[in-house]
C-alpha cells in the first residue's frame, strides 16, 4: 500500500491497475456486508434460469475494486470519494479474472478535486464496467 499523493503529486494520464480473480468468498463476503442476497448472485439453481445461465458477481463489488485502487494506490491513502458513476456492460462471473484500471483525466486544484475514468475488463479483454470517479486526494500537510 503506497502513501497517498496530493493533487500536486499526480498528473493527467497517471494510471494504476489491479487484477483480481473473483471467487465464492468475495461474493459471500459482499453479500454479508451489504445484505444483498439476490439469488442471481447466491443461488446457482436460480441463476441457471436467468438470462446469464449462471451466478453473476455483484456489479458494485467490481466498483469496490476501483474504490480500493483510488483509496490505496492512486491517489492513495487519505483519498475521499465524492462521486462514482458506473455503466455495467456485461456480467462478471465467479472464476473470472478482472483488471480494474483508473486514469486521472482532470484536476481542479482550486477545489482539491481529481476526476478519474475507470474500466474493469475480464480475462477476455471485454469491458464489464466503465465509469467516472471524483475524489479528494490527501490534503498537503
CATH at 103: 3.10.129.10
Count: domains in the chain: 1
Q: Is 44 a domain residue?
A: no
Model-level pTM?
Answer: 0.92
**CA distances for 109 relative to 8, 11, 49, 105, 137, angstroms:** 8, 11, 50, 13, 10
Q: Is 114 a domain residue?
A: yes
Give the pLDDT mean for 6-18: 96
How far apart, in whole angstroms, are the C-alpha atoms of residue 31 and residue 20? 18
Contact yes or no for 116/103 (Cβ under 8 A):
yes
Mean pLDDT, the chain, integer: 95
Whether residue 139 is predicted with pLDDT greater than 90 in this model: the reply is no
Q: Is 14 a domain residue?
A: yes
pLDDT confidence band for 1 (50 / 70 / 90): low
Boundaries of domain holding 119: 7-22+59-136
Q: Is 39 a domain residue?
A: no
Q: Is 75 a domain residue?
A: yes
pLDDT tens readout for residues 93-125: 999 999 999 999 999 999 999 999 999 999 999
Q: Is 46 a domain residue?
A: no
Q: Is 40 a domain residue?
A: no
Q: Is 29 a domain residue?
A: no
Q: How many other C-beta atoms can be found within 10 angstroms of the C-beta atom of residue 47?
A: 19
Amino acid at each position: 500500500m503506497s502513501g497517498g499523493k496530493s493533487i500536486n503529486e499526480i498528473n493527467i494520464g497517471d494510471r494504476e491497475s489491479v487484477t483480481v480473480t473473483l471467487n465464492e468468498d468475495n461474493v459471500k463476503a459482499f453479500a454479508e456486508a451489504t445484505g444483498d442476497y439476490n439469488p442471481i448472485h447466491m443461488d446457482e439453481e436460480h441463476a441457471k434460469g436467468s438470462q446469464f445461465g449462471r451466478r453473476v458477481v455483484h456489479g458494485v463489488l467490481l466498483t469496490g475494486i476501483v474504490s480500493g485502487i483510488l483509496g490505496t494506490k492512486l491517489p492513495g491513502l487519505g483519498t475521499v470519494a465524492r462521486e462514482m458513476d458506473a455503466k455495467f456492460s456485461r456480467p462478471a462471473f465467479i472464476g473470472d479474472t478482472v483488471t480494474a484500471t483508473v486514469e486521472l483525466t482532470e484536476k481542479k486544484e482550486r477545489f482539491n478535486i481529481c476526476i478519474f475514468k475507470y474500466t474493469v475488463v475480464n480475462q477476455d479483454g471485454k469491458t464489464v464496467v466503465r465509469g467516472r470517479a471524483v475524489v479528494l486526494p490527501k490534503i498537503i500537510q
